[in-house]
């Protein structure tokens, strides 16, 4: 017999609301654990088979819709609550989370419509719910306020971009820099705790988005240097008279910030995907001097021996010998 269960998972009562990147992270952590379950052992050795699931995350927790094949309703409820409790206990980053509610929400006759209702909306990352209208309005207002900090580039002069669109995109970029900074602190901590490089750690916030052929070189020092580079980039974006990225690492940092800006715009629901892509294409034309950093993601153009190229990432593109910041100097300087 197939049952559709709904389980409500809540974050600790004294914790802050989940920000957009944390919401995506929660989806990723839970989804990977649920996908790894082949079967669930119920009372007296009864077998319960997971069929499919969906996840929705909000400011204070997550909702799991789980389709299961079980001998009886009560067995499905009890076994899945136990499994979810165990999953939360095993995920260190979800310490303090609890299963608040777990119950059957549909029978066989209701499954088709119930599952259709849990399908992700187009454009949403990880099936993240939009906020209620009032909070959504606050989010949009915060984007416009943050956009006032971007003084290096006037997005309102780009092609057919409206003043309102320019304000939202500018604010999303500044939020992107803020998110990138927070996440790099997290990556540094993980790498130092494991005394490892990115290829030896299961999941990282930022370094996993860099060209993967260099993952064995992304250690704690590299992450710290990228953090300093991101700080320089954030400062430069608040100053007038933009200069294109001063080093290859700064170009990569701007690329990462753009990715987070796209997520912010999606969650705010202010621009559709095609419009965001169009505006950022115009942005790229004035923000970057060249697209050398994009070639690092193209396996067909990457050198067989990337060593020498990698050593240049934090060096000034102007040909100067002095680093952009003392922390970015080569170890033998």
Please give the class, per CATH, of domain 2-117: alpha beta
Q: Which residues of 206-236 are buried (b: 16+ CB within 10 A; e: fewer)?
A: bbebbbebbbebbbbebbbbbbbbbbbbbeb
Q: Percent of the chain beyond pLDDT 70?
A: 83
Q: How far is CA 23 from CA 5, 62, 216, 282, 299, in A?
A: 21, 9, 28, 29, 31
Which has more pLDDT, 184 or 115?
A: 184
Q: How far is CA 138 from CA 144, 149, 264, in A?
A: 10, 18, 13
Q: Which of 204-213, 218-227, 296-305 has the lowest mean pLDDT?
A: 296-305
pLDDT band at 314 (very low <50, low <70, confident <90, very high): very high
pLDDT (0 to 100) of residue 164 = 96
DSSP for 2-24 reads EEEEEEEEE--TTSPPPPHHHHH
pLDDT band at 320 (very low <50, low <70, confident <90, very high): low
212 three-class SS = helix
pLDDT at 128 over 60: no
pLDDT (0 to 100) of residue 44 = 66
Q: Which of 71-85, 182-196, 199-213 has the lowest mean pLDDT?
A: 71-85
Which has more pLDDT, 168 or 27?
A: 168
Helix (H) or strand (E) holding 72: none
pTM value?
0.63
What angle is formed at CA 247 by the lines to CA 245 and CA 253, rounded to 5 degrees?
65
**Farthest-apart Cα atoms in the chain, separation:** 72
Q: Which of 24-28, 156-160, 173-177, 216-220 has the lowest mean pLDDT?
A: 24-28
Strands of the 47-58 sheet, one edge to the other: 40-41, 47-58, 61-69, 2-10, 98-106
How far apart are the C-alpha atoms of 78 and 212, rounded to whole Å?
42
pLDDT (0 to 100) of residue 15 = 83
Cβ neighbours, 10 Å, residue 133: 8
pLDDT band at 218 (very low <50, low <70, confident <90, very high): very high
Tens of pLDDT, residue by residue over 192-214, are 988 999 999 877 889 989 999 99
Tens of pLDDT, residue by residue over 229-283, are 999 999 999 999 999 999 999 999 999 999 999 988 988 889 998 999 999 999 9
Start-end of CATH 3.30.70 domains in the chain: 2-117
pLDDT at 125 over 50: no
How far apart are the C-alpha atoms of 288 and 69, rounded to whole Å?
53
pLDDT band at 83 (very low <50, low <70, confident <90, very high): confident
What average pLDDT score do residues 91-109 get? 74
pLDDT band at 114 (very low <50, low <70, confident <90, very high): very low
Q: Which of 177-186, 217-226, 299-308 has the lowest mean pLDDT?
A: 299-308
Give me the chain's average pLDDT, please: 83
What average pLDDT score do residues 292-317 get? 74
Tens of pLDDT, residue by residue over 20-64, are 788 888 988 998 888 888 888 766 677 888 888 888 888 888 888
No. of H helices and E strands in the chain? 10, 5
What average pLDDT score do residues 94-99 get? 90
pLDDT (0 to 100) of residue 111 = 42
Cβ within 8 Å of residue 288, ≥6 positions away: 244, 245, 251, 254
pLDDT (0 to 100) of residue 43 = 65
Residue with tokens 């207002």: 141
Q: Rank 77-91, 113-127, 166-180 by mean pLDDT and report only the highest.
A: 166-180
Q: Which of 47-51, 66-70, 106-110 has the lowest mean pLDDT?
A: 106-110
């Amino acid at each position: 017999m197939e049952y559709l269960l709904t389980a409500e998972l809540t974050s600790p009562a004294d914790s802050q609301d989940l920000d957009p990147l944390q919401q995506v992270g929660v989806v990723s952590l839970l989804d990977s654990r649920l996908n790894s379950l082949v079967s669930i052992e119920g009372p007296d050795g009864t077998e319960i088979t997971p069929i499919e699931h969906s996840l929705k995350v909000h400011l204070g927790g997550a909702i799991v819709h789980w389709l299961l094949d079980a001998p009886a309703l009560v067995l499905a409820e009890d076994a899945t609550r136990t499994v979810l409790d165990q999953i939360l206990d095993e995920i260190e980053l979800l310490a303090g989370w609890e299963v608040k509610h777990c119950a059957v929400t549909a029978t066989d006759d209701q499954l088709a419509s119930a599952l259709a209702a849990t399908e992700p909306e187009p454009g949403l990352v990880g099936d993240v719910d939009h906020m209620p209208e009032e909070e959504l309005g606050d989010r949009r207002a915060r984007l416009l306020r943050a956009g006032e900090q971007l003084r290096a580039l006037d997005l309102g002069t780009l092609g057919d971009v409206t003043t309102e669109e320019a304000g939202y995109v500018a604010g999303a970029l500044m939020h992107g820099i803020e998110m990138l900074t927070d996440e790099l602190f997290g990556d540094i901590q993980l790498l130092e705790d494991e005394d490892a490089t990115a290829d030896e750690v299961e999941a990282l916030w930022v370094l996993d988005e860099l060209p993967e052929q260099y993952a064995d070189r992304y250690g704690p020092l590299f992450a710290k240097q990228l953090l300093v580079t991101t700080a320089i980039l954030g400062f430069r974006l608040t100053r007038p008279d933009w200069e294109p990225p001063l080093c290859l690492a700064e170009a990569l940092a701007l690329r990462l910030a753009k990715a987070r800006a796209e997520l912010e715009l999606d969650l705010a629901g202010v621009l559709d995907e095609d419009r965001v892509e169009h505006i950022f294409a115009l942005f790229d034309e004035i923000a970057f001097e060249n697209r050398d950093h994009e070639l690092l993601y193209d396996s067909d153009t990457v050198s067989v021996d990337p060593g020498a190229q990698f050593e240049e990432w934090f060096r000034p593109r102007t040909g100067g010998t002095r680093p952009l910041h003392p922390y970015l100097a080569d170890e033998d300087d």
